[in-house]
Amino acid sequence: MLNRREFVRAAAAGAAMFSRVGDALAAAAKYDLIIKGGRVIDPSLRVDAILDVAIAGGRIAAVESNIADDAVETLDARGKIVVPGLLDIHTHAARIKDGPALCLADGVTGFVDAGSQGADRIDDPIAIAKAAPQAARVLINIGRAGILPEGDTMDITRADVGAARAAVAKNRDVVAGVKARLSRDVAGANDYEVLRRAQEVVASFNLPVMIHMGQTVSPLPRLFELLKPGDIVTHMFAPPPNSIIDENGRILPEVLAARRRGVWFDVGNGRTGHLRWDIVERVMRAGFWPDTFSTDWTPEGRTAQVFDFPNVMSKFLDFGMTLDQVIARATVNASRVFEVFRDRGTLNVGAPADVAVLELRQGSFEFVDNFGNNRTGRQRLFPSGTVLGGKRVPSRA
């Protein structure tokens, strides 16, 4: 996987770093917007330097130092960090009408709603995703009634392959995969069969399945048998029973094998049962780092534990990751997981002009896991501004 990443990065950098779209365009057009003087960090281009980002026609037009040309508008980013727009692959932003706009104000220029609804009410999140200002996709919950307090698929007849398949077929433009929530309080002893059915749904569409792991009835190795390349494991830091790491601090061989065959591992911060600091510590120490970060955003999470995507990213600055490594997991890495994000997560010239401006503050910050444990960090990223398709977006109130 590292090799694939290195290759893509090198290719992107070689093709267009610091170059302009073309002399003709540059001569004809003043820029629409220049983001001036920020510390530009773009792992896809291996850039970390004080630079200006010029935007024209909704696309990145130049990333250079001291761009002197005129622009209709200038955004002063001195003292700030300028990164590609953030891509959040596990949210529930399509659960409420203003979810997409709230996430956008936090710098999230692309999101996936992961299983808020099943076949019966899939039209609701689809309507919200379609109306979203940013790139948005929906994973359909294999449980046809969506997320239920009594457990989505505790009644196995709710994992209705025919209903899910019909819903995917009807909404091929917005549905980007199937979500299978497998915890014991969601699927009970049906976990294996639920996942098998989820794979049956996507088989003819060539789409991924995202599994919600942690506290399952079935052992993880048995469930992982059913994962194919391109599938996503979310809540990778879930505590036992059935963590990805054993009592001796070893990542399970089946987990390593899954990553080797192209299964992605995602954080899925959330609020209940998914993230515990001691597990994060041990998994990070074992060198099994997340491919992607995600918030598992909900309106409730906005005021507790999750807050915003930059806050979730910040938690990992305290586990040995550099700023560049943290940003990669919220941008370029996520762009590889879902087709819709393929040309995003980068400030490469010609890419859609989706940019997040962040502020890195030093101090003392409390981060809380899903079990009420606090950790104090010395740094925290705050959302400071968003540019979507070249246009400035109002910041978080």
Nearer to Zn ion, 90 or 197 (CB): 90
Applying CB under 5 A, the span of 94-102, 288-296, 343-351, 353-361 interacting with Zn ion comes to 288-296
Q: How far is the CB of 70 from Zn ion (least distance, A)?
A: 45
Nearer to Zn ion, 34 or 114 (CB): 114
Strands of the chain (E only): list them: 31-42, 47-56, 59-64, 71-76, 81-84, 86-91, 108-118, 135-141, 175-181, 209-212, 232-234, 264-265, 355-368, 374-388, 391-393
Does the N-terminal peptide bond of residue 394 adopt cis geometry, omega within 30 degrees of 0?
Answer: no
Q: How far is the CB of 4 from Zn ion (least distance, A)?
A: 27
Name the nearest CA neighbour of 138 among 171, 164, 107, 162: 171
- Cβ atoms within 10 Å, residue 123: 13
Per-residue exposure over 176-211, b if at least 16 CB sit within 10 Å of its own CB, e if not:
bbbbbbbbbebbbebbbebbbbbbbbbeeeebbbbb
Both tokens of 157, joined, read: 């007849």
Q: How far is the CB of 238 from Zn ion (least distance, A)?
A: 12
Nearer to Zn ion, 42 or 369 (CB): 369
Q: How far is the CB of 115 from Zn ion (least distance, A)?
A: 6
Q: How far is the CB of 171 from Zn ion (least distance, A)?
A: 19
Per-residue exposure over 330-369, b if at least 16 CB sit within 10 Å of its own CB, e if not:
bbbbbbbbbebbeebbbbbbebbbbbbbbebeeeebebbb
Binding mask 245-284 for Zn ion (x = CB under 5 A): ----------------------------------------
Q: How far is the CB of 91 from Zn ion (least distance, A)?
A: 8
Our finding on whether 318 is near Zn ion (CB under 5 A) is no
Nearer to Zn ion, 114 or 388 (CB): 114
> Applying CB under 5 A, what is the total number of residues that bind Zn ion?
2
Nearer to Zn ion, 62 or 114 (CB): 114
Distance CA 363, CA 101 (A): 29
Q: How far is the CB of 280 from Zn ion (least distance, A)?
A: 18
Contact positions with Zn ion (CB under 5 A) in 105-134: 114
Distance CA 300, CA 297 (A): 8
Nearer to Zn ion, 116 or 218 (CB): 116
Our finding on whether 296 is near Zn ion (CB under 5 A) is yes
Nearer to Zn ion, 85 or 115 (CB): 115
Q: Return the residue nearest Zn ion (CB atom).
A: 296
Residues near Zn ion, by CB under 5 A: 114, 296
